[in-house]
Amino acid sequence: MTSHNKQARVLLWGVPRSVSTSFANCMTYVQDSVVWFEPYFAADWFGRDGNTTQFLMNYNKTKKNVAYPLDANIQTGDNIYEAAQHDFTWVKKKLEEEQPGKKVIFVKDMIQGIAGHYDALPDGYRHAFVIRHPLKVFASLRNLNDKVHQLSGHAGRLADLTPHLVPPGYFYKEMYDLVEYLKNTIEPYPIIIDADDLLSNPYQMMHSYCDSLDIPFDESLLTWPAGNDAMLRRWICPKELIVNGYSMSHEATFKTTGFGKPAPIPDRSELPDDVLEVADASMLYYDKLFEQRLQPVSG
């Protein structure tokens, strides 16, 4: 392990509905830290090589519970940038820039954003992953999609949604593939956290996580102010993703002040067929990742 005097650079890759945004909230309050919010996902979806014109047209047309483009009443800092003006090469270059005086550079991103773009992975970073039982992930994702489909124009079965929302490997294969790639190249022991382990024991899990990645840990990191101030004024965040900060996808997260308790695994008999389809297809990869997950420190 390197000294805490050195700068820690960490990329956290998540599947949807896996408390990864709460992770970003937590890292926001590490002293002398910088937090990037989903730059690869934004580059893949909204960037110069992306193709979401119809999606944005639908959002702009409805204007329900969203704020894209940024409304004049929303106060943000110079931390907001336009993903539409950039690409993967720009993200890699920005993440590799010198950050004098900072102890931690933390990047929270979605696993589908980097699939097929491993050449854009930044040098000098450790990689970590957050997973969650597929039945929980896809039941939650289905509920979210049912709520917002009139805005996004992407209603329907989960397996049939655009790859920007649900990739061909249903997130877990994409995550497993990146873990294996990293193990064979630059990251022999990627850090994998199961969300329910974290929610069940946040102190020990965050202590283990920070210790493994040379991030200074303090118990105060386990609580944070409610609201979206971090996204609007502190995180380096794509303008286009502010829409998610004001819509249902992060609504519950921005009401929290810490890691909550895990919910039970949903009853299969109460879930729709499309949730069972993608969850069952994901279990093999989830189980392989789960076997490699980080264990909490003792004491």
| Residue 97: both structure tokens together | 């820039």
Quote the CA–CA distance of 237 and 164 in Å, as a whole number.
18
Q: What is the pLDDT of residue 36?
A: 96
Q: What is the pLDDT of residue 61?
A: 45
Q: Does domain 8-291 have CATH number 2.60.40?
A: no
pLDDT band at 3 (very low <50, low <70, confident <90, very high): very low
Quote the CA–CA distance of 297 and 210 in Å, as a whole number.
11
| Residue 138: both structure tokens together | 């896809």
More confident residue, 5 or 47: 47
Mean pLDDT of 82-87: 90
**What's the CA angle centered on 283, arms 189 and 134, to 5 degrees?**
95
| Residue 222: both structure tokens together | 């386990």
Mean pLDDT of 268-280: 94
**Burial of 195 by CB count in 10 Å (0-12 exposed, 13-18 middle, 19+ buried)?**
buried
Q: What is the pLDDT of residue 159?
A: 76
Q: What is the pLDDT of residue 51?
A: 57
pTM for this predicted structure:
0.88
List the chain domain ranges: 8-291
pLDDT band at 163 (very low <50, low <70, confident <90, very high): confident
Could you give the C-alpha distances from 149 to 121, 155, 221, in angstroms and in order? 32, 5, 35
Quote the CA–CA distance of 94 and 125 in Å, as a whole number.
13
Residues 6+ apart with CB under 8 A from 200: 261, 262
Q: What is the pLDDT of residue 244?
A: 53
Mean pLDDT of 286-298: 88
Q: What is the pLDDT of residue 129?
A: 98
Could you give the C-alpha distances from 162 to 46, 64, 156, 157, 167, in angstroms and in order? 14, 21, 10, 10, 7
Angle (deg, nearest 10), helices 134-152 and 273-291:
130
| Maximum Cα interatomic distance, the chain, rounded to a whole number of Å | 54
pLDDT band at 68 (very low <50, low <70, confident <90, very high): very low
Q: What is the pLDDT of residue 54?
A: 47
pLDDT above 50 for 86:
yes
Residues in the chain: 299
pLDDT band at 70 (very low <50, low <70, confident <90, very high): very low
Query: Is 114 in contact with 177 (CB distance < 8 Å)?
Result: no
Quote the CA–CA distance of 247 and 251 in Å, as a whole number.
6
